[in-house]
Structures are given as C-alpha cells and as structure tokens.
Amino acid sequence: MARKVTKAIFPVAGLGTRFLPATKSVPKEIMTLVDRPLVQYAIDEARAAGITEFIFVTSRGKSALEDYFDHNQILEQSLKEKGKDELLKTLNATNMESGAIAYIRQHKALGLGHAVWCARRLIGDEPFAVMLPDDVIAAEKPCLQQMIEAYEETGGNMVATMEVPPEKTSSYGVLDVGDNIGTAVRARGMVEKPKPEEAPSNLAVIGRYILRPSVLYNLNQNKLGSGGEIQLTDAIAEDIRNGVPVFGYKFDGQRFDCGSKAGFLQATVAFALARDDLREDLQEYLHDVIVTGQAAQ
Ligand code: G1P
C-alpha cells in the first residue's frame, strides 16, 4: 500500500511578469478569481485531498502572501462584534493551523525543478504533492483528491494530464504514452516543452504531481534542461529510466491556465457563473454584450 501523502509544495517564486503592472506590488498568487486569491483555490484543493503540511517556495517581494495566511484578529473581532457571521465563516475558512505552513526562499530563478528541490529538507523521505497554483481546476471532486485515490492503487509517481492541441506542446511537459490503465496511462518518457514535430504525444502535464522522494535525489544533480532551467519534468523522466513507474492521470474537470490573462479571465467568468449570488446578473450582462454588442446599464 502506498504511503499517505500529507505534504504539498506550492512553487510561488515566479515574478508574474505577464500580469504587470499589477504584479509590481501584488504577488500573482494573491490576485483574485471573483473574491478569492488564486492560491486559496490550490490550498482548498490540497486540504480536500488530506494534505496537512503546506510548503511554499517563495522569493523576494512575496510577503503579502505570508500575510494572507496570518489570522487577522482585528478583522475577526470587528466582524464578530457586528454579528457578520457569514463573513466571519468565510474568513475563518482561510485560517491555517499554527505550524501548518512553511516558507522556503528560492534565491535564484533557476526553474521549477530547482524550486521543488529547495523544499527537500522539509519533505525528507516521504511521497509528496506539488501544486502549481496557476493551474486552476474546476472539478466536482478536487483534482488532487482524484489523483491521491488513484495513486493509492498504483504507487509510483503520478502527474495530472490532459490533451492539448498538438501545436501547443511547446508550452508543457509532454508524456511519451505507454499502456492505458483506466483513467491513467503509464508514461514511457517525459519531455519538457517539445516542439510539436518532436513531441511524443499531445498528452500534457498539468500542475498537479504526486512524487516520490527519488525525484528530489534526481534533482540533486542540478542539471539544466529546457530554457536553461532545472526542470521537474527531467527529474521525473529520470525516475522512469530508473524503472520507477510514472502515471499520467486523466483528471475529471476543467483546467484554466491562470498564468495567462485569457485563462484568468475565463476562470473568473466560469467561477462567477457557478455562484448563486452572481450568476443571473452576469449571464444577463454577457448575453447583452454578445447578442447586442451593448451591455445593459
Ligand atoms: C510547468 C512545467 C510543465 C507543465 C506546466 C503545467 O511549466 O514545467 O511541465 O506542463 O507547468 O502548467 P510552466 O507553465 O511553469 O512554464
């Protein structure tokens, strides 16, 4: 039986330059989809999957992220005094237990593999999850939970996958696909950001991983890969070569690439439409804009 996964790494050291000027002073992960920061979606998904230790790999300029996870006692007290119970509940749901979160600094932007490796001492000798908060996944059962359930049967390493248009492979890690086993495929290899003509398939890695500590040992060598960066994909591919099984899990859900403006806007609309308090007004607005080219006042 596979060992329980209780730790997750959240690499959040990126500069978020695609969202300048906003990210000049606001970490990208704090930017809101409707009224919740991007990172809250990842945290909620991790919690639903049984994660109890949250490791953030940060960088200079991310202190707003640390503040966000602090309990805001003044605000809590004020909401309590005013009897604003619903808001208090919303606020309390974001509170993290003391000691549940750890922050590690990535001192240099050397790539995703390096960011994950920075957390190695906090992981030790256990399987762990990696979640990229830019990839927001709307799903009835949270994606990481789906993966953990599958992983309990398979063991090994597991990455979330979905098909992408063949011309988009150069934006993703891509699987060389082996046997199909229900909702997962066994990977024969993995390549980071291959050109379409060199891609082994169009099955792309999406930002959810369950990894064995052997991946961290592979990262010890600090080998540079695609884009001159230390790639997580390469370290997982090395495990495949060493005979460790790697599975691509075809999750049930819709993924939004919130690292791009278009993806962020789409997620905003999708999450707003899923909310009872916003749906009707927004639907009416969208309908008017699309059908008449004019929004109702
Ligand atoms: C990272 C990974 C890539 C993966 C992608 C998913 O790339 O390196 O393998 O497919 O996330 O979003 P990035 O988007 O950080 O360039």
Q: For residue 62, what are the contacts with CB-CB under 8 A and spacing of at least 6?
A: 12, 13, 27, 29
Ligand 1 contact via 248 beta carbon (within 6 Å): no
Q: Which pLDDT belongs to residue 296? A: 57
pLDDT at 23: 86
Buried b (16+ CB within 10 A) or exposed e, 37-49: bbbbbbbebbbeb
Q: Which of 38-42, 121-125, 219-223, 269-273 has the lowest mean pLDDT?
A: 219-223
Residue among 19, 132, 224, 264 whose CB has most ligand 1 atoms within 8 A, to mutate: 132
- Does the beta carbon of 207 lie inside 6 Å of ligand 1? yes
User: What's the CA-to-centroid distance between 179 and ligand 1, angstroms?
Assistant: 23
Mean residue pLDDT across the chain: 92
Taking the C-alpha atoms of residue 79 and residue 91, their distance in angstroms, rounded to an integer, is: 10
pLDDT band at 145 (very low <50, low <70, confident <90, very high): very high
* Ligand 1: nearest atom to the Cα of 134: 12
Q: Tell me the average pLDDT across 241-251.
A: 96
Which pLDDT band, with edges at 50, 70 and 90, does 1 fall under? low
Instruction: State residue 112's pLDDT score.
Output: 96
Q: Is the pLDDT of residue 166 over 70?
A: yes
Check pLDDT > 90 for residue 146: yes
Q: What is the CATH number of domain 7-259?
A: 3.90.550.10
Answer yes or no: is the C-beta of 14 below 6 A from any ligand 1 atom: no
Other CB atoms within 10 A of residue 204 CB: 23
pLDDT tens, 43-84? 999 999 999 999 999 998 888 888 888 888 888 899 889 988
* 280 Cα to the center of ligand 1, angstroms: 35
- Would you place residue 255 in the very low, low, confident or very high pLDDT band (cuts 50, 70, 90)? very high
Report, in angstroms and rounded to the nearest whole number, the Rg of the chain calculated over CA atoms.
20
- In the chain, CATH 3.90.550.10 covers 7-259
Q: What is the mean pLDDT of residues 163-174?
A: 96
Other CB atoms within 10 A of residue 236 CB:
29
Between the CA of 78 and the centroid of ligand 1 the distance, in Å, is 42
21 CA from centroid of ligand 1 (Å): 23
